[in-house]
Chain A
């Protein structure tokens, strides 16, 4: 049912992006969901969110990044150094966090030592760390600079009209994903957490129109009263640091749970709300991408994130929560402890675990913690009975 989406996420250069490249069209990679894909889409450029999937070593990355740094940007740098991202025509590095923003520096540093790995279009996009009127204004200016750079480099024109059409296309995805999510959170789950996550991930690396077509087809199939999957399993929500493949979700589901909701930045947390179509499209994009972002880097918006996660858990009837953070990711690491306490206070068992990004090389330890959480949920159910 989700083979197309799986094939889009299994390798760095997936078949759909490869086809796009073969047609002579442009691809621009980006690091974070602060980059409105609509802007690139409006220029007929494939927005390609950079993933560290498939990293087998960090020997290149370690020569540039220090030891006390999150392994996500390190994995990206490793793949960049190995030439896996040579198919990109451009890259946009965002000021997501200190480690990710330094990818801008390190990518250029690696390129001094390894030729032909720096795309001709290279842009540093500043995103404010808070959402207030003057910071949104600032972000609009940054987006304008990005547009000007794209236009001058690629010889394209990103008009208001084109932007509005792209917003419509992205809003279709958001609508379809929201509908699809109903089947993940249903009493009788029709779409497993791992499958749903794969579908969402694919949207970050597939051409938009093709993605929407496949989403529509998937939704139609799911609506054909498919049999429930994973019946009777404990319902878990996963939140925290970046996670760009479905392996962690699968690991949790392999332990006997079903992941009915997630608050992950590659996931659906940023997709629920549409971009408004009235007024200046750039303003609409800036507001949507800033205000609907639930990353803890927005350090003055903690209460908003608490509400977001509690609402999400309630809607999905989650019985427990896994809060995970990539080692050296302080934003999620410290906030996870506060969130964990908050969920425990309202009677929802939660576990906080730290892991390395990338291939699950600590499966046993993570599984042990998940098993413990599931046991607690069982004990809680038994006590309640």
Chain B
């Protein structure tokens, strides 16, 4: 790794970048414009992140709380740290005074706030023995931790085995390399079902026992109950926001989808997330009343469903591009929560999950059921065309949100989706939805730059007559 990369701690750098944005965001537009000139190399990302007014401010407050309080300063509030996947829901951990470090989000923050992204850290991970063909989503964060450029964590917990090998394997490598305790939640290839739920519940209890053993912390059920009650309220707000997104034009800006699911992954149960959802909801309602799309111009040229994940390039250009092209983003695998009140569950109610705070058992079951419905764990665990799996979910969502087309974006390390995205795309096309398999790596921009990716997507939209 280049020597200069060792000058700043990776976690400090991210936490402080976000702290700077938080300090800057309350200035006037003109003041902010002047300040951006003095932000070294993440001014473009700041400019994108702050482009949504009050929603942006609420989002920054949320991620600042997460990065400053949990990610960087966990020990100051008496929290332990666990390295974990982005899909491990945080609620349980907050009730155990444990800070979950959602690895993939830390990589994405690195991409947004470092000059030339987090590629140096990705490469350092390979120098430490990891395979170069592995998923880029974990690689940068792993590289930083393996380089000693972040405060240590106590253990590794994952909930991706059975759904994403590349993901699970990355964490196993990290745990074995640093000799940290590892627990892996495992998911059967079917969902939903009584036996499947029972298996996941047993696994969740085993994980809690593992965490208790290694940290000496126990679950504070009173706190867990409070958090889950908040989660229920947040889910109701998400339902309302996502229902607004069915309107034509879609009143919710593309970037708000990113904010919504990043918040969902790190902020469930936290008041800052509630505030952000409220801001998105208010903005959406205002736009609906005005008949405006969520784009800057208020116009909508096409409605796009992200068939897998999004593109997380440096400078967050992807989100800006949606806005500039007057395109609506209707969500993707990370956005869907499958909370019991979601209208897309009509006729398939057993696929939903609800909040039960009536007993400790009920709370743990809630956490387990929620975990089983997190992105990836939910719909790429079994055959792509099995009930409730990738094809089923994609078609349900595209119909529900009235999509004009679908775009697949993923990382090259994603064996799971790259093993059958061609079959999926062909099937989706049969239902009348033009579908693009984007050939970029969603996080490592080096094999295909954002400019090339943008050209690929625009060519698709033009040739297929979508815009």
Contact = CB atoms under 8 A, between A and B. Distances in A.
B368 to A, nearest CB: 13
Contacts of B426: 109
A68 B412 contact: yes
B161 interface: yes
A360 to B, nearest CB: 20
Interface in A94-110: 95, 97-99, 101-102, 104-106, 108-109
Nearest to B128: A337
A350 to B, nearest CB: 12
B161 A130 contact: yes
Contacts of B128: 337
A102 B424 CA distance: 12
A335 B173 CA distance: 7
Given A105-B383, A129-B168, A134-B202, A70 B415 contact: yes
A98 B186 contact: no
Interface in B221-249: none
Contact of A134 (B162, B173, B199): B199
B416 interface: yes
A330 B165 CA distance: 8
A132 B383 contact: no
B421 A327 contact: no
A128 B418 contact: no
A102 B384 CA distance: 8
Interface in B398-415: 412-415
Contacts of B383: 104-105, 124
Contact of A334 (B129, B164, B416, B420): B129
A141 B133 contact: no
B420 A102 contact: yes
B422 A66 contact: yes
Contacts of A331: 165, 169
Contacts of A4: none
A338 B206 contact: no
Contacts of B358: none
A106 B172 contact: no
A135 interface: yes
Given A330-B166, A334-B129, A68 B188 contact: no
Interface stretch (B44-52, B175-183, B298-306): B175-183
A66 B173 contact: no
B396 interface: no
B419 interface: yes
B43 interface: no
A138 interface: yes
A22 B383 CA distance: 33
A347 interface: no
A334 to B, nearest CB: 4
Nearest to B384: A105
Contact of A98 (B165, B206, B412, B423): B165
B206 A106 contact: no
Contacts of B382: 124
Nearest to A70: B415
A98 B416 contact: yes
A64 B420 contact: yes
A48 interface: no
Interface in A211-251: none
A63 interface: yes
Interface in A321-340: 325, 327-328, 330-331, 333-335, 337-338, 340
A341 interface: yes
A158 interface: no
Contacts of B184: 129-130, 299-300
Contact of A65 (B161, B171, B419): B419
A293 to B, nearest CB: 14
Contacts of B79: none
A297 B384 CA distance: 21
B195 interface: yes
B165 A69 contact: no
A106 B422 CA distance: 9
Interface string B432-445: 00000100000000
B177 A338 contact: yes
A299 B172 contact: yes
Contact of B422 (A63, A340, A341): A63
Given A134-B199, A296-B172, A334-B170, 20 more contacts: A66-B437, A69-B415, A98-B416, A102-B419, A128-B188, A129-B186, A132-B206, A135-B186, A135-B199, A141-B195, A299-B171, A299-B182, A300-B182, A300-B183, A330-B133, A330-B169, A333-B131, A334-B131, A334-B169, A337-B130
Q: Lowest 9 CB-CB distances: which A-B pairs, in order? A: A337-B129, A66-B418, A102-B419, A333-B131, A299-B172, A129-B161, A98-B416, A98-B415, A109-B423
Interface of A: 63-70, 73, 95, 97-99, 101-102, 104-106, 108-109, 124, 126, 128-130, 132, 134-135, 138, 141, 296-297, 299-300, 302, 325, 327-328, 330-331, 333-335, 337-338, 340-341, 354
17 contacts: A68-B133, A68-B412, A98-B419, A106-B423, A109-B426, A124-B383, A128-B188, A129-B184, A134-B199, A299-B161, A299-B184, A328-B133, A330-B133, A330-B134, A330-B135, A333-B134, A338-B176
